[in-house]
Structure 1
Amino acid sequence: MCESYFYLNCPEEALRPCSLPGSLLLEIDVIRSCQERMQRYLDKAKAQLTSNRVAQHELERDLANKQAAHRIDDKCHHLRNTSHGISYYQGVERVNATISVPESWAKFTDGNILRSQSERAASAKLRDNTRNLLEVTANEMWCQFNRVNVTFTSRIAETADAKSKIQTHLAKTLREIFQMEMNMEAIQKAMRDQGPPFKVAQTRLEERTRRPNMELCRDTAQLRLVNEVHEIDETVQSLQQRLRDTEDTLQMLAHAKLVLQHDLAVKANLLFIDQEKCMGMRKTFPSTARLLGSV
């Protein structure tokens, strides 16, 4: 069995990306659930081991007793009238030192054997169940590990795409800021350029106020000079309004630039955390043998 086995046995929905926090929390829950089930089986294994040792102890004690009885009976079997160590034991035939009969003696041994067989069968069943549990838990953890990795990959792709879009918008904003600054310089230059003609027109009007008597005529030149002053003044007012509008737009663009730069820094940091730190820690996964408790 290898990792590809677990991957192929993961349900399709387990490999679909979902929200990253939800996937990570679910992975924690899956691991904790697996640990709890493993702990329960570990407790069962400890209890079964205790039962096995009790059965083993009873068999070993019964075997030792039977070996001792066999040696005594064998010794009795070989005693002869000429054997050494024979003696009179007055009244020994009236002493009842037995505690069992052949039926209870056989039943006691059969009970030990049956108990041993029962414990060995329970041990075999527990080993099979434990092996199945380890395979199931390993599969669950592997599937959730892959699901989180898929979610991380999707999240990283989304973050990288958002970061790229922000960079594009930031570049456009910087170009617009540059263009607004150039427009401001152009407007300011146009306003400065209106200064000399405005001075000339007003100077002409001021000089014409010195004409004597009836020469103070409201002639065509006078009317055109007045119109020229008004036109230049309106042009300057229009340029000033355009300058204020441009300054407001430039301020909005500067604010947008700060927002984009902050968002870009956040996305870059998020990408570093997800791609370098988190996925860097998730490049390896416990081997199949380790998950199945073989090592």
Structure 2
Amino acid sequence: MAAEVLITQQPVPQTIPVGSMPPKEHEVAYNTGQHSSSGLATAGFRTAKYLNEEWHQNNYARYYEAFADRDTSEKVRHESKRLADETEALAQRSQAESTRKLGQRLHDFHFWQAELQREIEDVTGETDLLLQQKRRLERALDASEVPYSLATDNLQCRERRLGPDLVRDVVEVELLKEVELIRNVQELLKRTLQQAVDQIRMNRDVKQTLEMDWSDKYEAYAIDEKCGRYNNQSTDIQFHHNSSKLDDFASTPESWAQFTHDNIERAERERLASINLRTLIDNILQDTAEDLRLQCATVDKAFAKRCQEVDDAKRKLEGHLRKVLEEIGDQENNIAALKQAIKDKETALRVAQTRLYQRTFRPHIELCKDPAHFRLVSEVEEILASIEALKHKLEEAEQSLKNLEDTRMSLEKEIAIKVNSLFIDRQKCMAHRTRYPTIMKLLGYD
């Protein structure tokens, strides 16, 4: 033959690894060798044609390729079905586990929401009780203004006492103590009231914190509950890329639980402080009310005792006044008697002096210093001495009467002072003190 065709030996089927394609042999024999049929005589018939062996080789290659591809495809199908089943089971298990975890999370939410709700109710109830105590403090503070005005009014009224009755007596001392006590009580009530206001504000702040925490958990509960209802048949699911990434400031389960625990613990501390403050307010109101009522009783007792003393002094003064008036009447009668006695003595003096005068007209030797003359002289001297004594006594009686009149005026003035003092203490002060608040008002009750 002018040209020879290269015949490739029939390939032997080899075992192909699973998952790999068999290498394809090049089935075209190029007529480029030394003995190729590339001569000029056959150029028109042999160019680019395959040999018979090449044809068979090509068929065998196609058979093997189809077999290998079918085998690989079957393996891929089996592996795909197995992988799909495994991934489906894994997805179902993962979804069930996620749903279970969401359910546990909902349980945690429910637990902390219940704890927050309980604490919110406790703080709210405690705040309401503290508000009642605050209103008691305000009413007690308002009620203390009445005793203060009464005490100051009593002191001002007693400044209108007259003369020696304007004295710093026990009543004034006790009234000053009462004023000082009321001022101290008012200062204490104001400080306690401010503490109550601050505690109420802190209670409301912590309540707001708890409510915000509860609200956040309620919103998160609704979100997780909605997430728990999602399944593969849900119609409102879609892809959200990068949704698994959380911000750096996201909390951990420990910090999440610790945050709510700290809020509840703070609320319990504030609630305990509020309870202690309510107890303190009760004790303060009880003590201040008792102190005020005790001082009020002391002042009333001092008033009663002072009024009794003034009344006794007034009765004694009135008794002395009656006696002075009687004595004035007797002294006036005595003065009248003395004047009459002097007048009578002057008549006797005129008689005696007239006798002596007439006897001076006796003639000559008859003008004798006889016993009658001496007796008349002695009578005149006796009468003059008696008149002088009576006049001296009359002066004493008139001075005594003047002193009695002065004493009467002094007694009447003193009695008037006592009457004024009794009017101030009884009609003004003690009558006004009947408006003193009751123990219930001082305790802050209506």
Q: Which amino acid aligns with 1:100?
A: S
- Which one of 322, 343, 347 corresponds to residue 171 of structure 1? 322
Work out whether 1:211 is the aligned partner of 2:362: yes
Name 1:292's counterpart in structure 2. 443
More displaced stretch, 153-162 vs 84-93: 84-93
In the TM superposition, what whole-angstrom CA distance separates every residue of 1:19-58 from its partner, at most 9, and x where no partner exists? Answer: 1111111111221222222222111111111110111000
Name 2:98's counterpart in structure 1. none
Instruction: Determine the C-alpha separation between the residues in 1 that align with 2:336 and 2:204.
Output: 96
**How many residues are paired up?**
278
In the TM superposition, what whole-angstrom CA distance separates every residue of 1:152-189 from its partner, at most 9, and x where no partner exists? Answer: 11111111100000000011111111111000100111
Name 1:222's counterpart in structure 2. 373
Residues 53-92 of structure 1 aligned to structure 2 (within 5 Å)? 53-92=204-243
Work out whether 1:48 is the aligned partner of 2:199: yes
Q: Which amino acid aligns with 1:186?
A: A
Q: Which amino acid aligns with 1:275?
A: R
Local SS of the residue matching 1:169: helix
Name 2:260's counterpart in structure 1. 109
Name 2:390's counterpart in structure 1. 239
In the TM superposition, what whole-angstrom CA distance separates every residue of 1:187-222 from its partner, at most 9, and x where no partner exists? Answer: 111111123322222122112212222121111221
Structure 1 or 2, whichever has the larger Rg, is 2
Name 1:96's counterpart in structure 2. 247
Q: Which TM-score applies when normalising by structure 2?
A: 0.60
Work out whether 1:28 is the aligned partner of 2:179: yes
Name 2:133's counterpart in structure 1. none
Local SS of the residue matching 2:247: coil
Instruction: Determine the C-alpha separation between the residues in 2 that align with 1:94 and 1:214.
Output: 174
Instruction: Determine the C-alpha separation between the residues in 1 that align with 2:428 and 2:241.
Output: 92
More displaced stretch, 122-131 vs 194-203: 194-203
Instruction: Determine the C-alpha separation between the residues in 2 that align with 1:48 and 1:115.
Output: 13
More displaced stretch, 50-59 vs 227-236: 227-236
Work out whether 1:145 is the aligned partner of 2:300: no
Local SS of the residue matching 2:233: coil
1:98 Cα deviation from its structure 2 partner: 6.0
Instruction: Determine the C-alpha separation between the residues in 2 that align with 1:101 and 1:222.
Output: 151
Instruction: Determine the C-alpha separation between the residues in 2 that align with 1:196 and 1:243.
Output: 18
Instruction: Determine the C-alpha separation between the residues in 1 that align with 2:249 and 2:396.
Output: 119
Instruction: Determine the C-alpha separation between the residues in 1 that align with 2:286 and 2:247.
Output: 59
Residues 120-199 of structure 1 aligned to structure 2 (within 5 Å)? 120-199=271-350
Higher helix share: 1
More displaced stretch, 23-32 vs 104-113: 23-32
Distance 1:212 1:75, change over 3 A: same
Instruction: Determine the C-alpha separation between the residues in 2 that align with 1:95 and 1:170.
Output: 107
Instruction: Determine the C-alpha separation between the residues in 1 that align with 2:302 and 2:216.
Output: 66
By relative contact order (CA 8 Å, sep 6+), the higher-ranking structure is 1
- Runs of at least 5 residues in structure 2 that lack an aligned partner in the other structure: 1-168
Q: Is the 8 A contact 2:293 2:439 kept in 1?
A: no
Name 1:261's counterpart in structure 2. 412
1:81 Cα deviation from its structure 2 partner: 3.3
Distance 1:80 1:156, change over 3 A: same
Q: Which amino acid aligns with 1:236?
A: I
Q: Is the 8 A contact 2:346 2:387 kept in 1?
A: no
Q: Which amino acid aligns with 1:140?
A: D
Distance 1:217 1:143, change over 3 A: same
Q: Which amino acid aligns with 1:62?
A: D
1:265 Cα deviation from its structure 2 partner: 0.5
Q: Which TM-score applies when normalising by structure 1?
A: 0.90
Instruction: Determine the C-alpha separation between the residues in 2 that align with 1:294 and 1:34.
Output: 17
The root-mean-square deviation of aligned C-alpha atoms, in Å, is 1.6
- Runs of at least 5 residues in structure 1 that lack an aligned partner in the other structure: 1-17
Local SS of the residue matching 1:92: coil
Local SS of the residue matching 1:83: coil
Distance 1:95 1:29, change over 3 A: closer
Work out whether 1:275 is the aligned partner of 2:426: yes
